[in-house]
Structure 1
Amino acid sequence: MAKTKVSDLDWNNLGFKYHDLPFRWTDEFKDGKWQGGHLTEDSTIVFNEAAEEMHYGQEIFEGLKAYRRKDGGINLFRPDQNARRMANSAKRLMMQAYPEDKFIEGVKEVVKANQDFVPPYGSGGTLYIRPFMIGTQPVVGVQRSESYIFRIYATPVGAYVKGLNPMPYKISEYDRAAYAGTGQAKTAGNYAASLLPSLEAKKEGFADCLYLDPREHKYIDEFGGANFYGITKDGQFQTPKSPSILPSITKKSLLQIAKDQGLNPVETQIPITEVGRFSEAGAMGTAAVISPVSSLTYNGKKVTFGDGKHAGPVTQKLYDTLFGIQVGDLPDKYGWTVPLE
């Protein structure tokens, strides 16, 4: 694959896809230790046909972004939280956790080395950063790997969903992750499980699926790639509490912002039969930030939020506040942004 050049890119029409940038970070765990990590121009990985991750799924990943500020500088957003979550995912998948300080170092080095590819302020684009780790030991029996490759690549992307345009979703009959399974880990298998339900939903005219809890199928869990929130008719921010969903950094941030905006936020079980109590609803995550939900369809019944055509006022304010902090337009009183020096 040919390396992407800045001149190849249309900043206003990037889409959400991979570009082979000049540099990425790579490290290897072998002989009982990480080797130190360094930048490389090689975007290929070579491993044995019996590599553990190919057959038994020891793979984890993260997603974060670099944002261009109005003054031309670059912000990272809470990379320490991504480092911590990846360490937790590694623990669940019995992998060798990558040191959190090295994780942050690697992210910074990749962004610095590819900084010309951070989209301009105001374009709606960002530099998406994908750290991941795979088990590489050749195995036949089911067992953990004793060797790993850790990588961080970056790619410029446009908005995952352009604008705050509410979209319709359906409640899936499938499960994304098992109760007490790997739902709280960011691992490939959880996303593979969502591919078929997502495709079927899109064929039916929906944006995607929302999953229920895998034990009772009574309570809202999450979307295939984002957490759910709802705003009650009396103005409370609610988001599901469940052992089978990914702890979202965007959700964690919005819970704090919602608290400061007087929305009395709570993490709680949300019965699917009670979604009518919400005047606004949305998906929240790194890729989309916030994507408003126009309606949910379950067992043939459709529940619409607001007028179904426009983002509600609370959603708009939450989005403006979070994104304003990320790009440096609003003061960061929380200490979440990390300016790239």
Structure 2
Amino acid sequence: MKQKVEDLDWKNLGFVYRDLPYRYEAKYKDGEWQEGKLIEDSTLVLSEGAEILHYGQEIFEGLKAYRREDGKINLFRPDENAHRFALSAERLAMPPFPEDRFVEAVKQVVLANKEYVPPYDSGATLYLRPFMIGTSNVLGVQAANEYTFRIFAVPVGAYIKGLNPADYIVSEYDRAAYAGTGQAKTSGNYASSLLPSVEAHKNGFADCLYLDPREHKYVDEFGGANFYGITQEGQFVTPKSKSILISITKRSLLELAKKQGLNPVERQITLEEAFNMKEAGAMGTAAVISPVGSITYEGKKHVIYSETETGPVTTKLYNELVDIQYGKQEGPEGWVQTID
């Protein structure tokens, strides 16, 4: 059933799927991408032999549209999402969707569903989910020769509500293999994190923190977000690894941290060093920035800054990033595209 805008409680949306009126679809066939268009049907019809159902050729993205105070709508670095989507496609042996068409399709979906972009100051956004799947019939292990690309939109509240410190546990599982598909945004990486996440939630934790898959010595990332820390010397550090997702939020925060004099760097971070950070947090499109209250490892809890209060560096980074996204502050050139 289509979601009626008048039925939405903007301040209590949650992070759940809703069927909006319009989405974008394009097909890949005979070696080229066909012309795409907006459609109203939210269903997909697949053959039982479709490649996605057997060998998992699937990639996706996540980005948001923000209602400004003047009523216009901002997109935050959609060109970066388009580029990461293309990189993910190449890693999964899929035909990249043209990056300029990706950005244009995102804009079409936002404008077609613009009444569902939450009001300014509601704390909510319009989340865009582009994805691509292999649809041709296969039996042996091989890449598909036909694909479907879609973008749908959903009004959402915060994935992690506000700057409230959360508790995490170090997982005994690996999320992705070194030099595997960890740098691609593909469903298999997230499927492998579901069991650890379920177990973490049962034990009262927000999510898992994964270590590097080769030595289990260095911090990689959380189940749904990247990790950052503020050292005792005040430096912004974030893991560098071949098994973690290329994060647009992380790249943005590295620039903002440099502007704020935090001498940011990507490098390996040992677990012991993470325990001794002055501040730490999770960062991503859905999470934005979420402070880490504690990290539990082998039954021992390590508190980072505070379990009840957010550190000053995290607060300042969060405020600047969000102000740029909502148009309250001008960001670096090209970061924001305003539509409507």
Q: Tell me the TM-score normalised to structure 2 length.
A: 0.99
Give the Cα–Cα distance (whole angstroms) in 2 for the partners of residues 301 and 332 of structure 1: 41
1:68 aligned residue: 67
2:260 aligned residue: 261
Aligned ranges 1:20-31 → 2 under 5 Å: 20-31=19-30
Listed as ranges, the gaps of 5+ residues in structure 2 are none
The offset of 1:275, in angstroms, is 1.8
| Letter paired with 2:89 | A
| Letter paired with 1:233 | Q
1:164 aligned residue: 163
2:329 aligned residue: 330
| Letter paired with 2:265 | V
2:6 aligned residue: 7
1:320 aligned residue: 319
Query: What per-residue deviation string (whole Å, max 9, x for no partner) do you get for residues 278-303 of structure 1?
Result: 11100000001001100001112221
Query: What per-residue deviation string (whole Å, max 9, x for no partner) do you get for residues 118-145 of structure 1?
Result: 0000000000000000000100000000
What count of residue pairs does the alignment treat as equivalent? 340
Query: What per-residue deviation string (whole Å, max 9, x for no partner) do you get for residues 192-231 of structure 1?
Result: 0000000001111111100000011000000111000000
* Contact kept? 2:69, 2:120, Cα under 8 Å: yes
Aligned ranges 1:191-230 → 2 under 5 Å: 191-230=190-229
Aligned ranges 1:143-292 → 2 under 5 Å: 143-292=142-291
Query: What per-residue deviation string (whole Å, max 9, x for no partner) do you get for residues 160-186 of structure 1?
Result: 111100010000000000111100000
The offset of 1:333, in angstroms, is 3.2
Give the Cα–Cα distance (whole angstroms) in 2 for the partners of residues 265 and 98 of structure 1: 32
Give the Cα–Cα distance (whole angstroms) in 1 for the partners of residues 162 and 52 of structure 2: 37
* Contact kept? 2:165, 2:306, Cα under 8 Å: no
Query: What per-residue deviation string (whole Å, max 9, x for no partner) do you get for residues 103-132 of structure 1?
Result: 011000000000000000000000000000
| Letter paired with 2:212 | D
* Contact kept? 2:276, 2:304, Cα under 8 Å: no
Query: What per-residue deviation string (whole Å, max 9, x for no partner) do you get for residues 44-64 of structure 1?
Result: 111110100110000000000
Listed as ranges, the gaps of 5+ residues in structure 1 are none
Give the Cα–Cα distance (whole angstroms) in 1 for the partners of residues 335 and 273 of structure 2: 34
The offset of 1:151, in angstroms, is 0.1
The offset of 1:332, in angstroms, is 2.0
| Letter paired with 2:198 | L
| Letter paired with 2:121 | G
Give the Cα–Cα distance (whole angstroms) in 2 for the partners of residues 56 and 236 of structure 1: 42
Query: What per-residue deviation string (whole Å, max 9, x for no partner) do you get for residues 4-30 of structure 1?
Result: 111110001000001100000000000
* Matched position secondary structure for 2:83: helix
| Letter paired with 2:304 | F
Give the Cα–Cα distance (whole angstroms) in 2 for the partners of residues 7 and 336 of structure 1: 32
2:99 aligned residue: 100
* Contact kept? 1:168, 1:207, Cα under 8 Å: yes
1:39 aligned residue: 38
Give the Cα–Cα distance (whole angstroms) in 1 for the partners of residues 141 and 45 of structure 2: 22
1:293 aligned residue: 292
* Matched position secondary structure for 1:12: helix
The offset of 1:276, in angstroms, is 3.2
| Letter paired with 2:68 | R
Identity of aligned residues (%): 67
* Contact kept? 1:275, 1:303, Cα under 8 Å: no
Q: Tell me the TM-score normalised to structure 1 length.
A: 0.99
* Matched position secondary structure for 1:88: helix
Give the Cα–Cα distance (whole angstroms) in 2 for the partners of residues 95 and 307 of structure 1: 45
Give the Cα–Cα distance (whole angstroms) in 1 for the partners of residues 175 and 275 of structure 2: 24
